[in-house]
Structure 1
Amino acid sequence: MKLSKRRSLVATSLMLATLVHGCGRAVNEKNYRDVERETTIPSPVIADDVTISPEGPTLDFAAIRIRSELYRDVDPLRPGPYAGYDTVEYALPAAADTSVLADGTLVDVRGIAWLPKSANPNEKFPVILLFTGNHSSCGILPADPNDPRVDFSVEFRLTGACPTGLIEAPSHKGYEYLARALTSYGFAVISINPNRGVQGFNNTASTVDRSYILARAALLRKHVSYLKVGFVRAAALDFQQLGLLGHSRGGDTMRAFYNTYKEPAEFQVKAIYELAPIDAGSGKSFDAPAIPWGVMIPACDGDVSSFQGINPYRRMLAQKSSTSLLSIVTLAGANHNYFNTEWPTSDARICEGDQQELWDYKAPLSPEGISRQATALKGVKGSATQRNLAQAFVTAFFRANVGDKKDPTVNRFLDPRYSLPKVLTDTANIQREFLDSNTGLIMDELESNGTVGAEYNEYDPFSLSLVRRLTEISWNSPSEQTWYQANLWPEGKDLNTIAAINIPIARREICDSVLAQETCSGSPDLNFSLQLVDVDGKLSAPFKARQFAPLRNIVNRTRDVFGNYIPLLFDTMTLPVQDMLGKLPDIDGKPFTLDRVKGVRFVFDQTKGGRIYLAKRWTLDQSKIEHPVRTFTPIALQEPREANRITRQTSIEAAGVSQEDWERLKAASLIQR
């Protein structure tokens, strides 16, 4: 039976420079090239009877599964088989070490280790070394124990003591929740205390290593030397199975350590994971192309607000340098500080775009927050939701990639071909980009055609090299005549042995380029159609884009409060080619074969308008997708439009901290991570 379509075609003028804004009005906007771009919004003309009425294809189109739901009901927070852990703190006297700080400033070797309890007294555990980010080393306790401690002094760095009335801020202990999970799976976790020597300051006297990244890496190497021979539990540590975990400056530190210290007889780094990291803090960009590397980006980061942590991914993907695994997990509503329970003040006042804060952002300042000009919110010490999300992905990453007992199938938590566990998606919006170089083929768009689309390039902010070629697409009204076709295989490609096509996609519609976002209402739902196209121009039956990616407008401006360009945060549309074999009809209801595919057509015929960005570099995944033996969510020609329960549909309520207070607090902050 043929797929019939009944449409009243919409007569519109195609305007390549137009876009829809989340706040519903036109603005003059500077793009990343610092070129003025005038944007206008005409009143859209929408047909009264735009419908698609399939009479029923002869092929089993509805049996095509969007993604695997193998892990949908899995609890990623469930502890592993090791019950309990031992806590061991260590400390060596402060001493000058010019390999760490050339000026002779004293540094010490202090840290905390969490080791699994084991019935085997001779068991050796794979090691996860953890390095915290930059933070004040001393703080004041609140009068109300339910309020957060306020950290503001950095004197400990030089003196080894806090001023009278203050206590040391134990940043390195703020990841015990991660250690609890990792030790349950048999990992020894050791967290470095950098307060003496490198914490709380920038190296302003030098143009080299201004963020003390190389100094931190040298300090980490000093710890390794002690842990291998002087530590009381040294015999239990297997440094041939070493994972590195860093937060903020600690992330950049771990890449610097990996690239600087190549000593396979002493230790072998098997994988690196980073939480909200900076990049190029030493003046040099470090990558890790030979081992699994992953990063978690909090989309509401008020500190590293230019999302520097995605730079290594973009560089390695652009250079095709990775021979292992790359992953980006973006958490909407998460901020910078709340990955660490000892960083209890909020770095973000309120989130941008379609994000729901994972903490009580409406809480007023605590008394100490007011008196110390700090972002301490009354009764708010962090976010259990944010910590749970971090725990789920960090634990999965190291379980999959480090240790003699590693299980690579656990990397599927990072793979957008697999649905995330419901316990995670019920609490936050999560986006994923993923490449396994062992099974993924990198493919580039070689040519394109259509009625919309303009080139948009993103550059590495430090090397200024091109890291991502994109197509920017904006439209104002739904029409079958508004389309863009990406041709990756002009001569045709046989996809019969391919499992999936992975298409990176981002959405950005601008509201106001101001810090406060209270006046920006939630972005409207966005949807459009996708079709495979073969070398003869034959089109497959259309898919609806929102089945593959939610198309959220997470960050609705192009520059942060420091004037830095904010790179796009991508999600992945995964087309399940493996599941389309023998089931996919063309637009006439006849079989659409996958042996001569030319590309993918994007038709903007569903919602009023929007602006999206398509990467010109895609991946083909050759590894078969494993499905559960049970029911699944089928693909459909039409999808009911339901409001995202997390996305705001009304204006945001004002936060407890006023706009004026927040600007004053930002100006008073001396430390940037």
Structure 2
Amino acid sequence: MHNFSFQSRWDTWMAAAALALLPACSDGSTEPIGTSQAALQGANGISADRVIDSQWGQGYCARIVVSNQHPSATTGTWSVALDVGPGAIFSSWDGTFSGSTGQITVTPQGSNAAIPPSESRQFGFCASIPSQGIEPVVLSVSSDLPPMGGGVAIAEYKFPAAIDAMVSPDYATELWASFYRPANLEAGRQYPLLVFMHGNHPTCGTGVNPRTDNNNQYATTGTCPANYVVVPNHRGYDYMAEDLAARGYFVVSINTNRGIHAASGSPGDEFVIGPRGRLLLRHLERLSRWDSGAEPTPPELGVDLLDRIDFDQVGLLGHSRGGEAVRFAYNEYRRSGSPWPALIDSPVSIRGIFEIGPTDQGQNGQRLNADQTAWNVILPACDWDLSDLPGMRPFDRMMSIAEPEPLSKSFYHVWGANHNYYNSEWQLADGNSGGITGCIDHEELFDPLENGSPAQRETGRLAAVQFFTANVGAERDEAANALFDPAFPFPDVPYRVRRGYHPGGGSADSLMLEDFINPTGTSSYGLPNTTGGTIAVDHTPLSGHDPSLSGAWIHDVAAGSATFFQSNWSVAGTGFDLTSYDTLDLRADRSWGSDPAEASFLVELVNADDTRSSAVAIDEFLELGPPPRGGTTLPTARIPLSSFSGATLASVRGVRLTFTTPLDGNSLYLANIRATRATTEALAASGQLASVASSAAPPISLARAAGTSRPEARRITAGNAIQSVRRSGADAVELTLTSAEFFDLRATNLVLTVGAERSTAARHPNGDLHTVQFLLPRAAFDRLAAQEPVTVDYGQGSSVAWDFGHLDKTALAP
């Protein structure tokens, strides 16, 4: 006679209730709790998708849907590798299971062995678990069908979490990533490697279409609460990774959920960028060991990686905090005294870095650059997580960094794009639930009520594919860089992009002519500049840009043929020899204002004898309409020097800008005037891009009426409470705040403001995002008045703020 405990009886009852639903589950009519793992795909078109149908405190029931995209039917030998961890399967159906715990293999039964093309079959199981939140993981899927030509295989590797002092000494982290490759590998060929990293986001979600990610328990425990699933943050870039794998790349997309998302940061690394970057290097170390044969390749990857990875051709892609993290990894690997070159079996050459809406917080006061490699950043014009577009700043800095060879730097300012929807797993827009999208004065590429945007993802796919095919791989096509170079036409697509470009290299590739680094009225070469007519030109740091960037603010202009600004680089009778250069580059932008008309001015070169070339209208090369949301990015105009008839290119002493068109109360900003050489391959001269065929994005409207003011942050006042105020040691006070609306994990940190005091030292106990605990230094607490207002937001530009009323200092617990 069995003596079942109360918990065992409860689990058995819950399992029976779940099993009673299985007929409905098996035909797909029951709404699942959610899918926490997107489909893995074998080399022969077989994919496996995991669905959790029910959960209770000590167990779950799940289905694996096996689909066949091969043109032939399976003959009955497909298999799926699963890891159920410490769980124990106590009931299963429609599959033959090799075991009941740990890593197991499931093969079909007779009823579901044959899967016709474009159809699916499924099997299921229920398991008991020792602690709440443990979920099964699909490791790989395969069948007896031959590999599909041009297809892509997707698998995952995941190792147990552990404290890794080199990555993060405070939290357990894990090596977990999805791996994408061509289905057919050529004998003896090494493949270029791309490594992706996502940004900061909750790790547990609930519901479907959309899934609401409002818990972070997995970050510290490796489990999620009942009725939650693990958020597969790393699978949000499948749309890029699969395309690139089909073009001959190995792609590894890293999951940083465990440990990394638990940390609150430190004074020198508030956004936990260092641990992210070092985790990426750990993945490179493990990949190199599989490639060298020092360790066997995990069988779930479905291929032996021995001597298969070309570490001389590596590219990195990062989104949000992941963008700055891949930049950190690049710099950490190159740092003098870095341990990573010795740990990684093969020397690594990172040929290109692609970032999407990145942070730029820096490390211990040092900002990170991407010099000596190709670099591009997507700046989403409707980003309301990082509304000040800090990804602009590395471009600003790198304009002035000399390199031994020209490796282009560019920005790609996408109108209508937000922060979140470049990751297909981030299913809620980053504006706010009050209906604010972050798009000011132009139309969205997304519907904030939909859980993602195919149109926005297409902007990222096109750019990523072009960038990596141009810069990474022994067989790269450098002509694809034309997408980022304003010297070439932009393709006919239903969205608008403003482009900034710098060819990189040294003065032989990009000669600085004017950077406005000297006081107003003095050129960068120490000579007096010249103005005529009614015009004001002030040399000034430019708002929203890196502090290292200076520019000219041109305002109070009375238009006319005699109204001009002239930058002088050499004294009369002398000049610079520009015969070895191809273009005159300058960055310019218009101020935001009520007038939607485009600004314009004429550009002339000034010869040594003070004669001038023919005039070129800037609007032939650069649109100077109102910038979206009022923020200047200073896109680049690249004017062929051959356009300036009458210029004596062997001796040019200055450039003149003449303002014949009224600015109608607006002003202009200028920066970085350069003479540059063309570095994009001549093959791109026709403006034709490498083939990137895909379904067309839906048509959109590109403009709204100008003059919309920036909306206020949505203020949350109901459901908020100051739960407790207590001492935390001798030097700090802990404030615990709760809200009915969860505190999302974003690219920026939460900021507590109490009166005039601020704190970003925050944590969410047990991963509960409805609760946040802040530490306030005791000295700051003592400076507060008896009653002070308490708010929480995401800092400057935050789309949302929580009001908690007033803090009563007498509430401090003894």
Q: Which residue is 1:291 aligned to?
A: 373
Residue matched to 2:746: 672
| Residues 123-164 of structure 1: per-residue CA shift (max 9 Å, x gap) | 32111011100101111214xx3xx22211111111111111
Match of 2:234 among 172, 176, 180: 172
Helix, strand or coil for the counterpart of 2:589?
strand
**Residues 180, 388 of structure 1: CA spacing in aligned structure 2 closer, same or farther, 3 A cutoff?**
same
Match of 1:546 among 593, 597, 619: 619
Q: Which runs of structure 2 are paired with 1:603-614 in the superposition (5 Å)?
A: 603-609=658-664, 610-614=666-670
* Paired letter, 1:672: R
**How far apart are residue 597 of structure 1 and its match?**
2.3
Q: Which amino acid is 1:210 matched to?
A: E
Q: Specify the SS of the correspondent of 2:627.
A: coil
Please tell me whether the aligned partners of residues 127 and 243 of structure 1 are also in contact (alpha carbons under 8 angstroms): yes
Question: Do structure 1's residue 412 and structure 2's residue 482 form an aligned pair?
Answer: yes
Q: How far, CA to CA, are the matches of 1:134 and 1:313 in structure 2?
A: 23
Offset, 1:347: 1.1
Q: Which residue of 2 aligns with 1:20?
A: none
| Aligned equivalents of 2:269, 2:187: Cα separation in 1 | 42
Question: What does residue 588 of structure 2 align with?
Answer: 505
Correspondence for 2:186 among 120, 125, 128: 120
Shift of 1:556: 4.9
Q: Please, what TM-score do these two structures have when normalized by structure 1?
A: 0.71
Partner of 1:246: 318
Q: Determine which of 421, 434, 444 is the counterpart of 2:513.
A: 444
Q: Secondary structure at the match of 1:214?
A: helix
Report the CA distance shift for 1:437/1:650 in structure 2 as closer, same or farther (over 3 A).
Answer: closer
> CA, structure 1 residues 593+106, in 2 after alignment: closer, same or farther (shift >3 Å)?
closer
Alignment-mate amino acid for residue 509 of structure 1: W
Q: CA deviation at 1:400?
A: 1.6
User: Structure 1 residue aligned with 2:356, among 264, 272, 275?
Assistant: 275
Q: Which residue of 2 aligns with 1:433?
A: 501
Q: What is the aligned length?
A: 523
Residues 125 and 605 (structure 1), Cα distance of their counterparts in 2 relative to 1, 3 Å cut? same
**Which residue, out of 262, 282, 290, partners 1:222?**
282
Q: Is 1:131 the counterpart of 2:197 in the alignment?
A: yes
Tell me how far apart the structure 2 counterparts of residues 294 and 149 of structure 1 sit (CA, whole Å). Answer: 31
Which of 541, 558, 565 pairs up with 1:457? 541
Q: Aligned-pair distance for 1:440?
A: 2.3
Q: Is the 8 Å Cα contact of residues 192 and 220 (structure 1) preserved in structure 2?
A: yes
Q: CA deviation at 1:113?
A: 0.5
Q: Is 1:484–2:578 an aligned residue pair?
A: no
AA matched with 1:98:
A
Distance of aligned partners of 1:667 and 1:185 in 2 relative to their CA distance in 1, 3 Å threshold: same
SS of the residue corresponding to residue 222 of structure 1 reads helix
- CA deviation string 1:173-230 (max 9, x = no partner): 0000111221122111111111111125422xx3233222111122222222333324
Task: Rate the CA distance shift 1:97–1:650 in 2: closer, same or farther, 3 A.
Answer: closer
Q: CA deviation at 1:117?
A: 2.0
CA contact (8 A) 2:484 2:499 kept: no
Distance 1:619 1:577, change over 3 A: closer
1:78-477 pair list within 5 angstroms: 83-103=150-170, 105-118=171-184, 120-142=186-208, 145=209, 148-199=210-261, 201-203=263-265, 206-228=266-288, 229=290, 230-232=296-298, 233=303, 234-235=305-306, 236-262=308-334, 263=341, 265-266=345-346, 267-283=348-364, 284-320=366-402, 323=405, 324-348=407-431, 349-351=436-438, 353-360=440-447, 377-378=448-449, 380-423=450-493, 426-437=494-505, 440-445=509-514, 446=525, 447=527, 448-451=529-532, 452=535, 453-458=537-542, 466-475=547-556, 477=558
Q: Pairwise mapping of residues 555-570 of structure 1 onto structure 2 (< 5 A)? A: 555-557=628-630, 568-570=632-634
Aligned sequence identity (%): 27
Rounded to whole Å, the distance in 2 between the matches of 1:412 and 1:625 is 8
Contact 2:197–2:234, Cα closer than 8 Å, also in 1: yes
1:45 matched residue in structure 2 = none
Q: Distance in 2 between matches of 1:472 and 1:503?
A: 14
Task: Answer whether contact 2:399 2:502 (CA < 8 A) is retained.
Answer: no
In the superposition, relative to structure 1, how do residues 601 and 331 fare at CA in structure 2: closer, same or farther (>3 Å)? same
When structure 1 is superposed on structure 2, of 490-499 and 296-305 the one drifting more is 490-499
- Checking the alignment, whether the CA contact within 8 Å between 1:82 and 1:183 is kept in structure 2 is no
Distance 1:537 1:556, change over 3 A: farther
Shift, 1:122, TM fit: 4.0
Is contact 1:278–1:309 with CA below 8 Å preserved after alignment? yes
3-state SS in 1 of match to 2:174 = strand
C-alpha deviation, 1:299, in angstroms: 2.0
Q: Distance in 2 between matches of 1:184 and 1:663?
A: 50
The alignment partner of 1:478 has SS state of coil
For the residue of structure 2 that corresponds to 1:327, the secondary structure is strand
- Change in Cα spacing, 1:122 to 1:594, as seen in structure 2 (3 Å) is closer
- Alpha-carbon offset, residue 619 of structure 1: 3.6
Inter-CA distance 156–467: structure 2 relative to 1 (3 Å threshold): same
Query: Can you list the C-alpha shifts for 1:275-328, whole angstroms capped at 9, x where unaligned?
Result: 111113543422221221221111221112222212222222234357432122
Alpha carbons of structure 1 residues 421 and 663: separation in structure 2 relative to 1, 3 Å:
farther
Please state whether the residue corresponding to 2:603 is helix, strand or coil.
strand
More relative contact order, 1 or 2 (CA 8 Å, 6+ apart): 1
Aligned AA (2:661): Q
Q: How big is each residue's C-alpha offset from its partner over 1:410-430, in whole Å with a ceiling of 9 and x where there is no partner?
A: 22222111112113xx32233
C-alpha displacement at 1:538, in angstroms?
2.1
Cα deviation for residue 599 of structure 1 reads 2.2
* Contact 1:134-1:200 at 8 Å conserved across structures: no
Structure 2: distance between partners of 1:622 and 1:653: 40
1:125 is aligned with what amino acid?
Y
Tell me if the contact between 1:501 and 1:620 (Cα under 8 Å) persists in the aligned partners.
yes
Q: What SS does the corresponding residue of 1:502 show, helix, strand or coil?
A: strand
Return the letter of the residue paired with 2:219: R
**Secondary structure, counterpart of 2:391 in structure 1:** helix
Q: Could you say which residue in structure 1 is the equivalent of 2:44? A: none
2:482, 2:687 within 8 Å by CA — same for their partners in 1?
A: no
The residue type equivalent to 2:674 in the other structure is W
Q: Contact between 1:113 and 1:190, CA under 8 Å: does it hold in 2?
A: yes
Structure 1: distance between partners of 2:469 and 2:716: 40
Q: 1:662 offset after TM fit, Å?
A: 8.4
- C-alpha change, 1:116 and 1:329, in structure 2 (3 Å) is same
Change (3 A) 1:122 1:239: same
The separation in 2 between residues aligned to 1:130 and 1:354, in whole angstroms, is: 32
TM-superposed deviation, 1:270: 2.1
Give 1:358's aligned amino acid: L
Instruction: State the distance in 2 between where 1:90 and 1:624 align.
Output: 38
Does the C-alpha gap of structure 1 residues 667 and 597 become closer, same or farther in structure 2, counting only changes over 3 Å?
Answer: farther
**Do the aligned partners of 1:353 and 1:554 also contact (CA within 8 Å) in 2?**
no
* Pair 1:647-2:703 in alignment: yes
Structure 2 residue matching 1:174: 3-state secondary structure: helix
- Residue pair 1:322, 1:437 contacting (<8 A) in 2 also: yes
Report the equivalent of 2:90.
none
Normalising by the residue count of structure 2, what TM-score does the alignment of the two structures yield?
0.59
CA contact (8 A) 2:503 2:676 kept: no
1:209–1:629 Cα change, 3 Å: closer
1:635-657 C-alpha deviation (Å, 9 max, x unpaired): xxxxxxxxx962323676999xx
The structure where strand makes up a greater share of residues is 2
Aligned letter for 1:418? F
Residue 245 (structure 1) shift: 0.9
- Whole-angstrom CA distance in 2 between matches of 1:352 and 1:160: 37
Cα deviation for residue 546 of structure 1 reads: 1.1
Q: From the superposition, tell whether residues 629 and 556 of structure 1 become closer, same or farther in structure 2 (CA, over 3 Å).
A: closer
What SS class does the counterpart of residue 422 from structure 1 fall into? coil
The answer for the alignment partner of 1:601 in structure 2 is 656
CA RMSD of aligned residues (A): 3.2
Measure the CA separation in 1 of the matches of 2:437 and 2:461.
Answer: 23
Partner residue, 2:35: none
